Amino acid sequence: MERVLITGGAGFIGSHLCERFLAEGYEVLCFDNLLTGDMRNIAHLFRNERFTFFKQNVTNYLHVSGPLYAILHFASPASPIDYQELPIQTLKVGSLGTHNTLGLAKAKGARYLLASTSEVYGDPQVHPQKEDYWGNVNPIGPRGVYDEAKRFAEAMVMAYHHHHQVDTRIVRIFNTFGPRMRRRDGRVVPTFIDQALRGRDLTVFGDGSQTRSFCYVDDMVEGIYRLLLSDYHLPVNLGNPREMSVLEFARKIIALTGRESRIVYHDLPVDDPKVRQPDISLAKKLLGWEPRVSLDEGLRRTIAYFQELIHAEPKG
C-alpha cells in the first residue's frame, strides 16, 4: 500500500486531497499545525484506518517512519486576510517548510508536488496567464509575503529537482472554491455567499471591473491527482478559464441565494490583481484535464454548505 504525506491536510484543498487519496486506496498521513486548517474538515476521515493525522508545523524538523510514495506540500496561509495577519508564518512555510519537505522527499525517494499559486504572476501584464510568463509582483507590497514565498518555493523545488534529482511537480492553482472554505478568509466566494445568506450588503472593491475565474474544488483535485502521476516537472496552471468581473459574480451570488442584498463599493486594496485568467492549454495537452463542474452547479453546492454552517451556529 502506497503512503502519501499531505501537508496542510486539514485545510480547504488539503482535506479534499486526503479524501481523494484514501478513495484511491492510498495510506494518507496528514500534517497540519491548524493555524488556518480546521479539524472539522477531516473529522470524518478518522474512521478510516488508512488515515493518520499529526499536528505538525512543517517549518520545524520533520521525521516520518517508513516509506513514502509522495509528498504534497499544501501547508500555507492562502487568503489575503491570512497572510497579512500572518506574514512571518507565510514566509516561513514557503521557505523553511518547502526546504524541510523537499529534504524529506529526497531522503525517502518520494515524488514531490508543490502547491504554488496564480499569485506568482502578480498583477499580470500578460492575459491570460501562461506558465512561461514571469509575472509582475511587488515584493515589498502587502501581498508580497505570499507571492514571494511561493516564487521562492518554486525556485527551491527546481533546485532540488536539478541538483538532487528529486522527482518534483509544481501546480499553479487559480481561484478555487467549494465546501470547507472558511467564512471569514477574505476571499470573494465565501465573503459574498456569507453576506448574501445573512441578508447583508455585498462589498465589492473598486468598481468591480476586475476579473476572476473560479474552479470548483473537485475539478482542482482531479487535476492535481493527474499531475502527481505524470512525469512533468515544470509548473502547470490549473483553474477554470471562464473569466468574469467581480461585479458580475456578485450579482450571480445574489441570484443564486435568492436574497435581496445590495452591492456596495469599497476602495480597491493595494496591488489587487486587475485580471486573473489561466491559460490551461498545457494541462489539457499534458493531463487531458479541464474543468467539468459548471460555475452555477459548484456555487449551489457551496451555498448549501454555508447554509448548513449558518444553521449550526448557536442561536441567541
Nearest CA-CA partner of 19 in 220, 193, 159, 163: 220
Looking at the fold, whether 233 and 251 belong to one and the same domain comes out as no
- Asked if pLDDT for residue 90 goes beyond 70, the answer is yes
Stretch (H or E) spanning 31: strand 27-32
**What's residue 269's pLDDT?**
80
* Same domain (yes/no): 219, 93: yes
Q: Residue 58: what are its φ and ψ, rounded to 5°?
A: -75, -5
98 pLDDT higher than 90 = yes
State yes or no: pLDDT of 134 exceeds 80.
yes
Angle between helices 12-23 and 217-229 (to 10 degrees): 60
294 pLDDT band, cuts 50/70/90, is very high
Which residue's entry shows cell 480546521?
A: 38
Angstrom distance (rounded) from CA 272 to CA 119: 10
Q: Is residue 7 part of a domain?
A: yes
Nearest CA to 16 out of 300, 173, 221, 227 is that of 221
Share of the chain above pLDDT 90, in %: 90
Instruction: Please report, for the domain that includes residue 193, its CATH number.
Output: 3.90.25.10
Whether residue 265 lies in the annotated active site: no
More reliable by pLDDT, 270 or 4: 4
Phi, psi of 269 (to 5 degrees): -65, 155
Same domain, 115 and 206: no
- Supply 184's cell numbers: 471569514
CA-closest candidate to residue 120, choices 164, 186, 76:
76
Question: Sorting pLDDT into bands at 50, 70 and 90, what band is 183?
Answer: confident
The arithmetic mean of pLDDT across residues 231-255, rounded, is 97
287 lies in some domain: no
Is residue 228 located within the same domain as residue 84?
A: yes
pLDDT above 80 for 271: no
Indicate which residue of 26, 83, 121, 146 is catalytic: 146
**Predicted confidence band at 117 (pLDDT cuts at 50, 70, 90)?**
very high
pLDDT mean over 130-151: 95
CA end-to-end span of the chain: 49
Residue that the C-alpha cell 512533468 belongs to: 232
Q: Are residues 161 and 90 located together in one domain of the fold?
A: yes
pLDDT exceeds cutoff 80 at 316? no
- Domain membership of residue 263 as a residue range: 188-211+242-276+294-312
Instruction: Quote the DSSP letter at residue 94.
Output: I
- Residues 6 or more apart from 308 whose CB is under 8 A from it? none
Number of domains in the chain: 2
Is the domain of 33 the same as that of 55?
A: yes
